[in-house]
Amino acid sequence: VADHAPVLPVTGHDTLAPLVDGRRVPYANLDVAASAPALQAVADRVAATLPLYASVHRGAGYLSQVSTALYEQARRTIGDFVGAREDDVTIVVRNTTDALNLLAGCVPAATDGTPGRVLVLDVEHHANFLPWQREADATVVTGRDTAAATVQALRDELAAGAAAGRGYALLSVTGASNVTGEALDVAALVAAAHDHGARLLLDGAQLVPHRRFSLEATGVDYVAFSGHKTYAPFGGGALVGRRDWLDTGTPYLAGGGAVRRVRTDATEWHDAPARHEAGSPNVLGAVSLAAACQALAEVDPDELREHEDALRRRLVAGLGAIDGVDVVHLWPDAADTVGVVTFTVAGCDAGLVAAYLSAEHGIGVRDGRFCAHPLLARLGLDGGAVRASVGVGTAGEEVERLVAAVAALVADGPQARYDVVDGLWIV
- Under the rule (CB under 6 A), what is the footprint of ligand PMP? 34, 95-97, 125, 127-128, 174, 178, 203, 205-206, 226, 371
CA angle 400, 405, 407 (to 5 degrees): 100
Q: Which amino acid is at 74?
A: A
- Among residues 212 and 366, whose Cβ is nearest to ligand PMP? 366
- How many Å apart are CA 209 and CA 296, to the nearest integer? 8
What minimum distance in Å lies between the beta carbon of 113 and ligand PMP?
Answer: 30
Catalytic residue selected from 106, 293, 348, 371 = 371
For residues 140 and 407, which CB has a smaller minimum distance to ligand PMP in the complex?
140
Nearest-5° Cα angle at 239, 236 to 244:
145
Name the minimum Å distance from CB 127 to ligand PMP: 4
* Residue 96 vs 344, nearer CB to ligand PMP: 96
Closest distance to ligand PMP from the beta carbon of 148 (Å): 21
Cβ of residue 132: shortest distance to ligand PMP, in angstroms?
A: 13
Q: Which amino acid is at 219?
A: G
Number of other CB atoms surrounding residue 164 within 10 Å: 8
Q: Which residues contact 356 (CB under 8 A, 6 or more apart)?
A: 405, 409, 414, 416, 418
* Closest distance of CB 366 from ligand PMP, Å: 9
Closer residue to ligand PMP (CB): 232 or 348: 232
371 catalytic? Reply is yes
Smaller CB distance to ligand PMP: residue 91 or 359? 91
Closest separation in Å from C-beta 340 to ligand PMP? 9
* Beta-bridge mates of residue 104: none
Q: Which is nearer to ligand PMP, 95 or 180 (CB)?
A: 95
In the chain, the N- to C-terminal Cα span, in Å, equals 31
Distance of closest approach, residue 80 Cβ to ligand PMP, in angstroms? 21
Of 127 and 291, nearer to ligand PMP (C-beta) is 127
Catalytic residues: 371
